[in-house]
Chain A
Amino acid sequence: MPNDPLNLRDLPAPSPPEDLWPSIAAQLDDPPRKHARRSLRYLPTALAASLVLALAGLQVIDMAGDRSMPSANASSELALARAASARLEQVLRRQRDGVLDATSVESLAWMEQELGWLDVQLADNPSETRLWQQRADLLAEMAGQYERNNWQARIQLASY
Chain B
Amino acid sequence: MSKNAFNQPLDAVRLKRLAKQCRRTQEQVYRLFVDAAWTLAVRLTGCEAGAWDAVQEGFVRAFRQAGQLRDGNAFGFWLRRIIVNQAMDVHRLRGRESPEIPPESGADAPDPAWLDLETALAALDARDRMVLWLHDAEGMTHEEIAVLAGMTVSWSKSRLSRTRARVRGTLDKESNSSLRKVGNAK
Contact A20/B39 with A9-B137, A11-B117, A14-B105 known, Cβ cut-off 8 Å: no
Question: How many residues belonging to B are interface residues under a CB distance threshold of 8 Å?
Answer: 54
Distance of B54 from chain A, by nearest CB (Å): 11
B residues less than 8 Å from A23 (CB atoms): 52, 56
Q: Which 4 interchain pairs have the tightest Cβ spacing? A: A2-B139, A109-B150, A16-B38, A15-B105
Residues of B contacting A39 with CB < 8 Å? none
| Residues 79-119 of B at the A interface (beta carbon under 8 Å) | 81, 85, 88-89, 92, 102-107, 110, 114, 117-118
A117 proximal to B (CB < 8 A): yes
Contact of A4 with B105 at beta-carbon distance under 8 Å, contacts A11-B117, A27-B56 already known: no
CA distance A10 to B121 in the complex (A): 14
Given the contacts A2-B138, A131-B68, A14 and B56 also touching, CB distance less than 8 Å:
no
Please classify the interface of chain A as helix (H, G, I), strand (E, B), loop, or mixed, using the class held by over half of its residues.
Answer: helix
- Docked Cα-Cα span, A11 to B30, in Å, equals 22
Query: Which residues from chain A sit less than 8 Å from chain B, CB to CB?
Result: 1-17, 20-21, 23-25, 27-28, 103, 106-107, 109-110, 112-114, 116-117, 121, 124-125, 128, 130-131
Q: Are B34 and A16 in contact (CB under 8 A)?
A: yes
| Measured CA separation A10–B167 after assembly (Å) | 16
Are A12 and B136 closer than 8 Å at their CB atoms? no
Asked if B6 is at the interface (CB within 8 A of a chain A CB), the reply is no
Q: A17 contacts B150, CB within 8 Å?
A: no
Q: Is B26 an interface residue (CB 8 A)?
A: yes
